[in-house]
Amino acid sequence: DGGITQSPKYLFRKEGQNVTLSCEQNLNHDAMYWYRQDPGQGLRLIYYSQIVNDFQKGDIAEGYSVSREKKESFPLTVTSAQKNPTAFYLCASSMGNEQYFGPGTRLTVT
Amino acid sequence: SQQGEEDPQALSIQEGENATMNCSYKTSINNLQWYRQNSGRGLVHLILIRSNEREKHSGRLRVTLDTSKKSSSLLITASRAADTASYFCATPQRYNTDKLIFGTGTRLQVFP
């Protein structure tokens, strides 16, 4: 069953802690993306990777970090430097124009 | 900056009615895509229309593209309660087509 998975679905952290969100795909897609979505808003690109061991900053990369050591995996770390980390985080992958999205992780930082 | 802006922001209709959502964008594009998002879920790709196409159909969906006006519309015919979702248009960034820029979305509510 091919697809893209994100875990966990809900995540709670205290302010000042780093947290890592998981994203895995078995679609054999080269490109992977991380987006942030705030209530009632569209998606904003955090980071993206077009190939293993390479990634680029998106529009709102400050306070986030990523790695792409394997084609299947693109974890996102939300660091304590991110001033307003509470949001819904979506991972996507693509091979061409269309993007395939995971179910998302809702992160709440208090 | 967001390339696509949807209109209206929210739309409420009865089952069986048609729903029309519009998207405007700023720069020239080679394609435009529409996605659907159920509440609290990931986005699902609905349809892609290329810049040399004026209209495209997929089931109850009809998408039009007017490159002269830099706008697109998504029509859902004979709507169902299950169509309740947010709908987003997305366009490739001008100088980096691997990146999609999403609009703010239209929230559609279909009442049974």
The full 3-state SS of chain B, as one line of letters, equals CCCCEEECCEEEEECCCCEEEEEECCCCCCEEEEEEECCCCCEEEEEEEECCCCEEEECCEEEEEECCCCEEEEEECCCCHHHCEEEEEEEEECCEEEEEEECCCEEEEEEC
Q: Report pLDDT digits (tens) over A48-67.
A: 999 999 999 999 999 999 99
The answer to whether B109 faces chain A, any CB pair under 8 Å, is no
The reported pLDDT for the residue numbered A2 is 61
- Evaluate whether B48 touches B31 at the Cβ level (below 8 Å): yes
Q: Report pLDDT digits (tens) over B10-50.
A: 999 999 999 999 999 998 899 999 999 999 999 999 999 99
Per the omega criterion (within 30 degrees of 0), is the bond before B8 cis? yes
Report the pLDDT averaged over residues A80-103. 94
Chain A neighbors of B92, CB-CB under 8 A: 97
Chain A neighbors of B99, CB-CB under 8 A: 45, 48, 58
Contact B43 A101 (CB under 8 A): yes
Res. B97: pLDDT tops 80: no
